[in-house]
Structure 1
């Protein structure tokens, strides 16, 4: 006699324990996604500000002056000014420090830090009252969650040196793609525009005229107009890229080198496109602030007039 066929309900009933494992699997996937999202936020934090892991933020509120070697220049940065300070021997992502935190001296090579500076007067948080002025424009949490805030006078430059420095002449190497598009992706193929803007040579991605003319058309986030300032010898002194349509408060990023001032460091700052016309003054102000951290022979900060050549 043939065995009776199992009922439809019996056929669709999962074996004992299968439902529990499905729940466990879904929970594990959720935890994995949450972990990846956390790592994404950490990466956004680093890419937005250009600084190291969150644990390196302990220098953000240090009660002491920051001392070290900034690309060959001995510096004393007044307490409260430099934030998220990283030295060459600090642990990298996912690493823990081995041994006690070293005592920092003028031989300690700085790798990166950021600071706030008010445009156009160059005020910093060396004056505690300036922090109150900055806070008028919103909280640090708002700045992180919504990008660099527009409508205020404060800029947040970043500095890379030491192990993060790309060697002298890095701006010229970056700029090669502007005039040598062969083999590059479409968003790195440019037309040189016939007229300068605020003393800057302008390069625009090929073939985007129709998208620019249509106010409803969105452009890929990788599309950037590039603005270049070269000196009389053709050396690139300033490199700015801006999204041509995203008119938000951090649409432009300006980069330059301190190598002509004898300091092997890159400086960069983000701002809204309305400030692009002030690129010379911004670069001079931030450069002068940084060179003003130079330590005098007695260990104090020394006000040093920057070279600011060919700007």
Structure 2
């Protein structure tokens, strides 16, 4: 039995059909990718529902010993010490919040470097611009995004004064002592920061299996003249696909018992001093004045 070979004209049509199917498949895959990107930015739910996380009124309370009034629309995912935990139901009516109510945590968005917040409704539109499918298509996932998303922990969520020193003890643990990780202290500094690298990390960087291992990191620490740690930055190395930095500091030197953290790309690490100072000043700008107003973050930044 002889297998018949289609004539060149029919073979050409099949090639066109096959290429067309492949193109449609690629377009569908890219559309799915953008949907996943959109979901990762806004959560798996309607955008309106996600944006509803922002409080429609001013947030009042005690932030680590500082009375605050946070303008409406600025703070998100606000928690107080007496709020029920995950999966728990509140017992009794929701309490009326006052300046005596102990804040446990909240987050907010700020645009770097002008430090604008969602106190101006137009700023939310600017933030959303970097999360659209069109922007992701042309610039990558939130490409060129100037917005930062700091988080603040206080009250029962605060790890206590000196937590950065306690956390940094592991960095200088000698070989042979009990420690989850062993670090090498590098001889050079970067932007005033002492660098610690996990031992054997070079082998990890060459291993694709380590792409999602978040223990693979470099740690950058700043100590003041008294030797006290005031800045702790953990970064995924640039060689890894998902390089990012988590920058943590305490406001205890400002008389506020609160932990602040913010993540950003490694390209912003050179601006760590300014980022830490300016976000701190924005938070201090939430301080309640005797007349019930709040200080202007813009005026604080000029001091």
- So what's the TM-score if we normalise by structure 2? 0.74
Q: Is 1:115 the counterpart of 2:116 in the alignment?
A: no
> Of 282, 289, 295, which aligns to 2:282?
289
Instruction: Report SS of the residue matched to 2:268.
Output: helix
CA gap 1:283/1:150 in 2 versus in 1, 3 angstroms: farther
Kindly state the Cα deviation for residue 246 of structure 1 after the two structures are TM-superposed.
2.9
Q: Is 1:205 the counterpart of 2:201 in the alignment?
A: no
Match of 2:120 in 1: 127
Match of 1:231 in 2: 224
Match of 1:20 in 2: none
Question: 2-side partners of 1:236 and 1:306: how far apart?
Answer: 24
Instruction: Report SS of the residue matched to 1:276.
Output: helix
Question: 2-side partners of 1:63 and 1:274: how far apart?
Answer: 34
Question: 1-side partners of 2:300 and 2:120: how far apart?
Answer: 22
Kindly state the Cα deviation for residue 248 of structure 1 after the two structures are TM-superposed.
3.2
Kindly state the Cα deviation for residue 223 of structure 1 after the two structures are TM-superposed.
1.3
Q: Is 1:248 the counterpart of 2:242 in the alignment?
A: yes
Question: 2-side partners of 1:93 and 1:216: how far apart?
Answer: 35
> Of 165, 179, 188, which aligns to 1:184?
179
Instruction: Report SS of the residue matched to 1:172.
Output: helix
Question: 2-side partners of 1:293 and 1:116: how far apart?
Answer: 14
> Of 157, 170, 180, which aligns to 2:150?
157
Instruction: Report SS of the residue matched to 2:295.
Output: coil
Match of 1:64 in 2: 57
Instruction: Report SS of the residue matched to 2:93.
Output: coil
- So what's the TM-score if we normalise by structure 1? 0.72
Instruction: Report SS of the residue matched to 2:98.
Output: coil
Unpaired runs of at least 5, structure 2: 1-39, 42-49
Question: 1-side partners of 2:106 and 2:76: how far apart?
Answer: 6
Question: 1-side partners of 2:161 and 2:132: how far apart?
Answer: 36
CA gap 1:247/1:288 in 2 versus in 1, 3 angstroms: farther
Kindly state the Cα deviation for residue 295 of structure 1 after the two structures are TM-superposed.
0.3
CA RMSD of aligned residues (A): 2.7
Q: Is the Cα contact below 8 Å between 1:59 and 1:85 reproduced in 2?
A: no
Kindly state the Cα deviation for residue 252 of structure 1 after the two structures are TM-superposed.
0.7
Question: 2-side partners of 1:85 and 1:139: how far apart?
Answer: 26
Question: 2-side partners of 1:58 and 1:263: how far apart?
Answer: 29
> Of 68, 78, 81, which aligns to 2:74?
81
> Of 97, 102, 106, which aligns to 2:95?
102
Kindly state the Cα deviation for residue 206 of structure 1 after the two structures are TM-superposed.
1.0
Q: Is the Cα contact below 8 Å between 1:67 and 1:75 reproduced in 2?
A: yes
Unpaired runs of at least 5, structure 1: 1-44, 49-56
Question: 1-side partners of 2:162 and 2:102: how far apart?
Answer: 20
Kindly state the Cα deviation for residue 100 of structure 1 after the two structures are TM-superposed.
1.0
Question: 2-side partners of 1:238 and 1:282: how far apart?
Answer: 11
CA gap 1:76/1:269 in 2 versus in 1, 3 angstroms: same
Instruction: Report SS of the residue matched to 1:222.
Output: coil
Question: 1-side partners of 2:230 and 2:163: how far apart?
Answer: 10
Kindly state the Cα deviation for residue 93 of structure 1 after the two structures are TM-superposed.
1.3
Aligned pair count reads: 244
